[in-house]
Structure 1
Amino acid sequence: MGDFRRRSVSVSEAAGGDPVVSVVPCREEEDEEDVEAVVLVREAGEVEASGVTENGDGGDGTRRSQPSRPVGSPRRIFSLSCCCGEEEDAERQTEEEEEAEKKPACPGLGLLYSLLASVFFSVAALLVKKIEGVHAVEISALRCLFQMLFVIPPMIYYKTGFLGPRGMRVYLFLRGVLGSSAMILLYYAVFQMPLADATVIMFSNPVFTALLAWVFLKERCTIWDVIFTVFTLTGVILIARPPFMFGKELSGIEGEYTNHIKGTVAAFSGAIGAACTMVILRKMGKNVHYCLSVWYYATLGLIECVVALFIMDEWTMPSCGWDRWTLISIGLLGIVGQIFLTKALQIEKAGPVALMRTMDVVLAFVLQFLFLNRKPTWWSVGGALCVISSTSGVALRKWYNSTRQKT
């Protein structure tokens, strides 16, 4: 809105007896629809507001004679509806229409999208666990390739370019490297330890996001953030079960304990990398198109994976049949999961979506029991409860704060 709606037209007498139009502030009523343009006429007789110009002429260019006002005669005040009221009504109607467009036609549709995203991500992690003869880095490379091919058409459509804004390229580069590294570490952890344990540790990243945002973005850190962090670390310890705390006789360890520790370190490092990625995305805000963020993630991740595979000499050609179809399915499931997660965040608040994402942990335990014939240990269940409590607490606290600020 311009300043027009905050002004009124005042007509007064000049030294020569001609009316002079001046613009004065208009009092703002409690109901904006009742804002009126008040014409103050300091003379006897009727004056049409639309027929007065700045030089006292009428609309036809002729000067109108003004009758003199007897001394002490009352001033007549005319109130005309201001067109700014119509403009405010139109703007309010537009805002209501935009808010109505954001609300889903079906209540809870955003939560359903979030649940579907959890299902697709969990099934993709299960397929990573089931595939044999293919390194985790090679699986990550294939997923990055699928995402890169998928994001090119919308980038061309939106004309975002491939480099991004000059001032944001450093952040885009860091987002791509850290995000892809987190994905590689997660897949490696799934290979080295039980699926549910790796998922639980990786899912602890929201707690670390709050701490990193306090350090780098100067966001407020409360006692609740410290408590959630302690609960998360406790859950990770219960899942890792180091021998110096739990003894040498350990149950529920998949394979050698050395591999279990490697998987724990990889999953924990991946959680830190994912938290750093979230902080970078907050730093960039809406200054960067989301397609550019995915483009850097997929492109730098693919380069990182190819270089790592040649250094480790782990590049292998997947066998025909199950392995190749599994790799393709992993890439497609990752893309579909990202689509559903993006749609969920577009039509639902972040708090409920984050709470629904805790289903990743539950689904990991269920899929591990049904398809991998592994029963979770009480230590793993206890660690999962600690991590879920922490992440749910972070989500509920943010949800409460955002709701209180709006009210």
Structure 2
Amino acid sequence: AINVTFLSFRTGFLGPKGKRIFLFFRGFLGSTAMVLLYYAYQVMPLADATVITFSSPVFTSLLAWIFLKEKYSLWDLLFTLFAITGVILIARPPFLFGSRDMGIEGSYTDHLKGTIAAIASTASAASTIVILRKVGKSVHYFLSIWYYAVIGLIGCVIALFVLNEWRLPQCGKDRVFLVLIGLLGLGGQVFLTKALQIEKAGPVSIVRTMDVVFAFILQILFLNHLPTWWTVGGALCVLASSIGTAIRKWRQSVKKAKQSEI
């Protein structure tokens, strides 16, 4: 509350004029990524959706090359191919694998919808990271979170009214879970935004790959669902791509920092 009050006096709730458009798209794309990810979690296994979202560094590198004029090399292309291979192993399209039920939980239609939603979420999240790097420290990170929360709230309220789903779950436990989703999701955004402001994107991306490990563990412990070997193979491909991209970007930034000191 103190931080928000301070921001209102310093820059207003809309932020600096030159940064408002970036903040708007940060909020819109960030909330869109979260909604799509939650949908993917509902219609496909937790580990599958989580692994797909970790192809985000590939999209980030590509978008950074386009909008931030960062270098995109053959290594980046190789990591992109690894990520695409991982996503294909998880999606398992019939025209490549010849069957719709190769270890897929539930219907293939839901699995495909979840895959598309997860990929769209990944692209939106990558766009958000590029925007955050573009804005940098010129905007307080709480203001970035403010846009994310407000735009996400407005969008969800409109969607709920349109879909006529404006009602609370009947079970009290589900209501608690609903509150926890909001709190933990917002907390994750706060820590991620702060991490990107005080540390290079490379180390942050490497640490975030632990999400995949936790997803596998939690899926087994609480959902009693063992991942298939296709998912494990896809996870290894995506993780190799993600970690490779992060390490390469990290080394480039360190090298550039050393050159600037000379």
TM-score by length of 2: 0.91
* Alignment-mate amino acid for residue 212 of structure 1: L
Query: CA 1:235–1:396 in structure 2 vs 1: closer, same or farther (change >3 Å)?
Result: same
Aligned to 1:162: 13
Q: Hey, what's the Cα distance between the residues in 1 that align with 2:14 and 2:199?
A: 30
1:349 deviates by: 4.6
- The answer on 1:324 being equivalent to 2:159 is no
Deviations 1:317-367 (A, max 9, x none): 222520111112222222443454456556655433321211101110111
Higher relative contact order (CA 8 A, sep 6+): 2
Q: Hey, what's the Cα distance between the residues in 2 that align with 1:177 and 1:353?
A: 22
Gaps in structure 2 of 5+ consecutive residues: none
Aligned to 1:262: 113
2:86–2:233 contact (8 Å) kept in structure 1 = yes
Q: Hey, what's the Cα distance between the residues in 2 that align with 1:249 and 1:332?
A: 37
Give matches, 1:7-406, under 5 Å: 152-158=1-7, 159=9, 160-341=11-192, 344=195, 349-406=200-257
1:351–1:399 contact (8 Å) kept in structure 2 = yes
Query: CA 1:286–1:352 in structure 2 vs 1: closer, same or farther (change >3 Å)?
Result: closer
2:32–2:124 contact (8 Å) kept in structure 1 = yes
Q: Hey, what's the Cα distance between the residues in 2 that align with 1:281 and 1:248?
A: 41
Q: Hey, what's the Cα distance between the residues in 2 that align with 1:297 and 1:332?
A: 13
Which secondary structure does the structure 2 equivalent of 1:162 belong to? coil
1:286 deviates by: 2.4
* Alignment-mate amino acid for residue 306 of structure 1: V
Query: CA 1:180–1:390 in structure 2 vs 1: closer, same or farther (change >3 Å)?
Result: same
- The aligned length equals 256
1:355–1:392 contact (8 Å) kept in structure 2 = yes
2:26–2:147 contact (8 Å) kept in structure 1 = yes
Q: Hey, what's the Cα distance between the residues in 2 that align with 1:350 and 1:265?
A: 26
Q: Hey, what's the Cα distance between the residues in 2 that align with 1:191 and 1:364?
A: 14
Greater percentage in strand? 1
TM-score by length of 1: 0.60
RMSD of aligned alpha carbons: 1.8
Q: Hey, what's the Cα distance between the residues in 1 that align with 2:230 and 2:51?
A: 12
Gaps in structure 1 of 5+ consecutive residues: 1-151
Q: Hey, what's the Cα distance between the residues in 1 that align with 2:203 and 2:133?
A: 19
Aligned to 1:145: none
1:312 deviates by: 1.5
Q: Hey, what's the Cα distance between the residues in 2 that align with 1:337 and 1:172?
A: 18
1:157 deviates by: 2.5
Q: Hey, what's the Cα distance between the residues in 1 that align with 2:56 and 2:190?
A: 21
1:196–1:364 contact (8 Å) kept in structure 2 = yes
Q: Hey, what's the Cα distance between the residues in 2 that align with 1:194 and 1:336?
A: 23
1:202 deviates by: 1.1
1:304 deviates by: 0.8
Which protein shows a greater Rg? 1
Which secondary structure does the structure 1 equivalent of 2:227 belong to? coil
Query: CA 1:341–1:178 in structure 2 vs 1: closer, same or farther (change >3 Å)?
Result: closer
What's the % identity of the aligned pairs? Answer: 64
Greater percentage in helix? 2
